[in-house]
Amino acid sequence: MSGHEGESVAAMQPLIEADGVGAVIDGETLLAPTDIRVERGMALAVRGRNGSGKTTLLRILSGRLRPSSGTATIGGRTIDDRDRTVRRSVSALIGTPAYAPDLTLREHLRYISTTWGVTGQAADDAADELLVALRIDTLARRFATELSSGQSQLFALATALVRPFDVLVLDEPEQRLDAERRGLVADRILLAKERGAAIVFASHDAGLVERVADEAITVEAP
């Protein structure tokens, strides 16, 4: 069995760059050609109406969708999640993650860390720190199927944050959360920025964009 996933791009130029990336599937345009550029320690907010292509752009940046036009790179490397180095660098929260239904929340976070080679006390500490920071530590022994929609969103965010990353891609991280919890999400994004990650997030929350984004682009419906 192979070891955990490849080298980090942290040592490379920490930059997300997309030049004219667009997506057309079977004649349907999902995303009009778009350009973005995100430096290390910066957060870019992606705004736009429903159906404008925000999630499509994020899927391209996480390597889950091949662009029909243009190029998208991380540290000069073409984004493709078959590339282990890209997988190692990009953590993404787009939709519901693949949960293991038989693990409690705390075990789940520890399990994710273990797959990245972080084991023992370090994995325990990372899980506990995130559970406390997102105020879901009282739910540590619950199974993922036992959460409310807001709690599920916070836990999904925790799974994306517990693994190592250089690039963080988040699709509407504030959805289904009350104002106080949205503040917690903003805190975690700011912390990730401080730690040098490049962040791209789609959001309809002007307050969140105002607080954490260094730059914002608006994606127009195709």
CB of 78 to another protein, least distance (A): 11
How many Å is the Cα radius of gyration of the chain? 17
As given in the structure block, the two tokens for residue 68 are 């029909």
- Enter the DSSP assignment of 68: S
| C-beta closer to another protein: residue 115 or 218 | 115
Which are the contacts of 105, defined by CB distance < 8 A and separation ≥ 6? 131, 136, 139, 140, 141, 142, 143, 144, 147, 155, 158
| C-beta closer to another protein: residue 2 or 50 | 2
Select from 7, 13, 51, 66 the one that contacts another protein (CB under 8 A).
66
Per-residue binding letters, 115-154, with another protein (x by CB under 8 A): xxx-xx--x-----------------xxx-x---------
Our measurement of the distance from residue 207's CA atom to the centroid of its chain's CA atoms, rounded to an integer in Å, reads: 19
| 77 lies in the binding site for another protein (CB under 8 A) | no
Pick the stretch among 31-39, 92-100, 129-137, 202-210 that binds another protein (CB under 8 A). 92-100
Which position has the token pair 């292509």? 53
How far apart are alpha carbons 208 and 51 in whole angstroms? 21
CB of 36 to another protein, least distance (A): 18
As given in the structure block, the two tokens for residue 79 are 């984004």
Contacts to another protein by CB under 8 A = 1-2, 4-5, 59, 62-66, 80-82, 84, 87-88, 90-95, 97-104, 107, 110-112, 114-117, 119-120, 123, 141-143, 145, 159-160, 163, 169
